[in-house]
Structure 1
Amino acid sequence: MAVRNRWTMLLKLRRIYNNMRNKIGRQNKGITFLLGACLSLYFIRGVYYDSRARKSRPFFKETVNTSLWRVYSSEIQEPFAASYKEMPTVPVASFDKTSHKVVIIYATKRSGSTLIGEFFNQNKHCFYLFEPLSPFSRDCHLLLGERFDFLHQLVQCNFSSLPQIYKNALLQSNHTDVNAKCLQNNLCFSNRNKYLLFRYAAACGRGNKTASFHELTRFVAADPTCGYPLRSEIVSSLCNSAPFVAYKIIRMCSIRDVVPLLAYPNVYLIHLMRDPRGILGSRIDLDSDELTARDVNSASLKLCEEIADSIDFMDTKVNSDGKSRYLRVRYEDIALNPLLHAYIMYKFIGRDLPGSVKLWITNSFLFDGKMHKKESKDPYSTVKLVQQSIMSWKNRLTYDQISQIQRNCAIAMEKMRYNVITSEEHMKHWNISLLGYT
């Protein structure tokens, strides 16, 4: 059984199980459990004999063909899958084991950057930081120069000035640090950086500033020597010893402010975009956000002006060398084809997609059940049900609000190839794709 067929069979078995469970009824829990166990054993048996008969190989071949793209889409995403005529053009980095590459994930708020960040956070070879610009306020124009200088230091794995930078940012912006605890811990949102904490504990415990990136030890926050706040010299050493680095950045005004980092030959920029209806629908549903229903008009104008400007700037003002290290992706495409787009992003930076990332994507996207039910109410969750993830804004916005956003964002939506809703009746049809493709 080929690797592709193996995953196809898993998806078919899942579909069979769900159909039979509905027919049997949820009250017959014993029969339902036995059915699930039998199907699981059948799949495990196939995997076992397949692993004995074949040598290990990556989920996707080095040259991804159109047929695999279509097969994967039709198996998982129906009826939302689009008919892809050809693979997108992806710049491919030449792989160099000695190269210390830095990946910048640039996005606007509520565009799915937390999810994409996990594609790198789940890689044991990656030094990943979640929103290191969090101490700076949401007003991206405030302390813009300081933000850019800090990004330069991050690219160079220089964390020596981090405590002072965070202190000044919080003092001048009057921004709260209650949730992120950046200044208190010398690390923002430490719960999103647990692998870094394990590596930090191992390096600190040995009393050696030259950290070994692959050593892990349990982190004890209250440890007076190796707990919070993190020591900048050890964090810098871990960053420098990592095979590659990734930062999730959202608090910059425009991609124009990030592009100068491409002057470093080892920096790669992933530009994440999302349907503005999805961004605003997500923000309006978030208690901590300042956006209200009456602010949708002004917010959509500001958002889509920035989106259109970013696309125009990257398409017309950046030279070929910069474009070779720039990748633009849409959140909806990633949600529909997570494994494929994870492969594309890793190929873009010249690395193989590791098994740990494939497993995380499988658990987060392809299975329903208790985990999805538990996580579905968390607006920051990275466990996604495709239908809820990319179309949930239909339930959060009224038709008038959607029409208003579409008018204000007509140019941006056309550049990103999103289709518009033309009527309230059209809005009710969940099986009609709103994603356009060339």
Structure 2
Amino acid sequence: MISKSMMSGSRKHCFYFLGVLIFVAAWGFVSMRSGRIEITPPRILQTARRNASWRNALSPETTSMPVKSLRRSFSPTTVPGDGKQHVVILASMRTGSSFVGELLANNGDVFYLFEPGLAVHDALRQNGLSPAVVEHVYLRMLPKIFLCDFSDLDFYMEWLAARPLADLLKMAPRLYDLCVLNSTDPKGRCVITPEMATETCQKSDLIVIKSIRVPDINLLLPMVEEKTINLKVIHLVRDPRPMIASRAEALKWEVLDSKWNGVLPGKVQDVLCIYCKYNCQNLELGTQRPSLKNRYMFLRYEDAALNPRAAALRIYRFLGRDGGVPDSVQEWIDSNTGADKPGTYSTARNSREVYRKWRLTLPVEAARAIEKTGQCRGMMARMGYLTLEDKWHLRNMSRPLLGSLPPVNTDVEKYDWVWF
């Protein structure tokens, strides 16, 4: 038998939980009616902030960044929406994202930022903090940038100001314009303040961030589904074989040269497994999740390199710019994509030749090993990259390795029941 005291205790617990539920529901209703975004610190960051090693890592003796400004940037922030169009170029290292980014950066009406995650990386990794912490801080930084709220990002402004002017032009062209006109110091560095960045950002209807530090489109979904941010995603991919060849050159990996022993090093395999897995998942989610309908664009670097004008037109139409590609972007395409200017990180090169240059240098067996790693064969088939048919295929330029893009299922309505 159940005693009366037990029944009474159960009722008390029921009323207690009911009260909690009512409070949570009321709080959620008030938050929704307020029309604001609350950016709360991720759990891993809250733990790090309480830890003594976190405070020691950010002490004045161990970092060149102002500790006060770094700590302020981690505090919760409430920012209003502004109705602007915000864009992330979702890419990986050595996939042509700098080239594609220039198609937007050279539009004077676009507030473009090149890899703001570099500032977070430099500020935190030098103090021994893990990549997970860096990623969390970066993901909290993105909504603030999109909403032109630089009030707590003075560490980022100081990091930009410390760049050489040529780098600043690449990383933040609108801030470079402002700096050159108004505020260079005797040492040739810029004075960039949060107020300057906010004012310049607010004048732009289109805000673009090029990022190679967000591998998973799932991490961007909160901003896609938050109406005050209005985020669109350009998902840029490249054949994994030239991606690895280019990364090996940029990072001085002596693993794919003429002395290659036939086995991909562990770090190369790790890069490939992550790259191919997430690109498959990102394409699947981008074309089937209802909230990404009309907010997701898939672009192969090879298509942009072969026909940059067509790629630029696709991008601007995707962003709702019915006026087409601006003259300034057309001029940049004309003067840069036919140029013959060598350089690992240069964007002023003959794009038609660069996209297939790797075929002359990558060992055939290395190309075959890349094809067999992780989910790369499936990714290549899904995205129109052809595998090698024989040992002569790679060097024979008359035999293509870029095929047509297989049809993509965009009938998202029948998947509505899947998403909660």
TM-score (norm 1): 0.63
> Cα deviations across residues 210-243 of structure 1 (Å, max 9, x unaligned)?
xxxxxxx63553259x963410111011101113
- The match for 1:46 is none
**2-structure distance, mates of 1:190, 1:401:** 37
> Cα deviations across residues 92-149 of structure 1 (Å, max 9, x unaligned)?
xxxxxx9521121110111001001111111111111111111344975343221111
> Cα deviations across residues 148-196 of structure 1 (Å, max 9, x unaligned)?
11011111111111134689xxxxxxxxxxxxx5473699941314642
**2-structure distance, mates of 1:197, 1:261:** 24
- Confirm or deny that 1:348 pairs with 2:318: yes
**1-structure distance, mates of 2:150, 2:274:** 33
Give the partner amino acid of 1:131. E
2:287·2:296 contact (CA, 8 Å) conserved in 1? no
Give the partner amino acid of 1:267. L
Shift of residue 419, structure 1, vs aligned partner:
0.6
Shift of residue 309, structure 1, vs aligned partner:
2.2
Give the partner amino acid of 1:103. V
Gaps of 5+ in 2: 1-81, 257-264, 407-420
- The match for 1:399 is 364
- The match for 2:79 is none
**Structure 1's 127 and 223: CA in aligned 2 closer, same or farther, altered over 3 A?**
farther
Shift of residue 198, structure 1, vs aligned partner:
4.8
**1-structure distance, mates of 2:378, 2:172:** 41
**1-structure distance, mates of 2:99, 2:85:** 21
- The match for 1:175 is none
**2-structure distance, mates of 1:147, 1:264:** 18
**2-structure distance, mates of 1:164, 1:193:** 15
- The match for 1:411 is 378
- The match for 2:330 is 358
Give the partner amino acid of 2:274. K
2:161·2:190 contact (CA, 8 Å) conserved in 1? no
- Confirm or deny that 1:299 pairs with 2:271: yes
**Structure 1's 188 and 301: CA in aligned 2 closer, same or farther, altered over 3 A?**
farther
2:119 match: secondary structure = coil
**2-structure distance, mates of 1:124, 1:282:** 30
2:157·2:192 contact (CA, 8 Å) conserved in 1? no
- The match for 1:143 is 134
**Structure 1's 223 and 326: CA in aligned 2 closer, same or farther, altered over 3 A?**
farther
**2-structure distance, mates of 1:145, 1:297:** 25
**Structure 1's 188 and 252: CA in aligned 2 closer, same or farther, altered over 3 A?**
farther
1:126·1:242 contact (CA, 8 Å) conserved in 2? yes
- The match for 2:94 is 110
**2-structure distance, mates of 1:150, 1:290:** 32
Shift of residue 412, structure 1, vs aligned partner:
1.0
- The match for 1:129 is 113
- Confirm or deny that 1:257 pairs with 2:224: no
Gaps of 5+ in 1: 1-97, 168-180, 202-216
1:271 match: secondary structure = strand
**Structure 1's 435 and 385: CA in aligned 2 closer, same or farther, altered over 3 A?**
same
Shift of residue 388, structure 1, vs aligned partner:
2.9
2:238 to 243, 263, 274: 274
Give the partner amino acid of 2:246. S
**Structure 1's 140 and 435: CA in aligned 2 closer, same or farther, altered over 3 A?**
farther
Counting matched residue pairs gives 302
1:198·1:219 contact (CA, 8 Å) conserved in 2? no
Give the partner amino acid of 2:116. P
Shift of residue 398, structure 1, vs aligned partner:
0.8
Give the partner amino acid of 1:228. C
- The match for 1:28 is none
**Structure 1's 183 and 271: CA in aligned 2 closer, same or farther, altered over 3 A?**
same
- The match for 1:243 is 205
Give the partner amino acid of 1:200. L
**1-structure distance, mates of 2:234, 2:395:** 33
**2-structure distance, mates of 1:194, 1:153:** 16
Shift of residue 357, structure 1, vs aligned partner:
0.6
Show structure 1 runs of 4+ deviating over 6 A: none
1:426 match: secondary structure = coil
Give the partner amino acid of 1:158. D
**Structure 1's 313 and 360: CA in aligned 2 closer, same or farther, altered over 3 A?**
same
Shift of residue 387, structure 1, vs aligned partner:
4.2
Give the partner amino acid of 2:336. S
**1-structure distance, mates of 2:110, 2:348:** 21
Shift of residue 427, structure 1, vs aligned partner:
1.2
2:320 match: secondary structure = coil
- Superposed, 1:15-414 pairs within 5 Å as 99-137=83-121, 140-164=131-155, 181-182=159-160, 184=162, 189-193=167-171, 195-201=173-179, 218=181, 221-222=184-185, 228-265=190-227, 266-286=230-250, 288=251, 292-293=255-256, 294=265, 295-316=267-288, 318-319=289-290, 321-351=291-321, 352=323, 353-365=325-337, 367=338, 371-372=339-340, 375-376=341-342, 378-408=343-373, 409-414=376-381
| Cα root mean square deviation, aligned | 2.8
- The match for 2:53 is none
**Structure 1's 185 and 382: CA in aligned 2 closer, same or farther, altered over 3 A?**
closer
**Structure 1's 189 and 162: CA in aligned 2 closer, same or farther, altered over 3 A?**
farther
**Structure 1's 332 and 250: CA in aligned 2 closer, same or farther, altered over 3 A?**
same
2:208 match: secondary structure = strand
Identity of paired residues, percent?
25
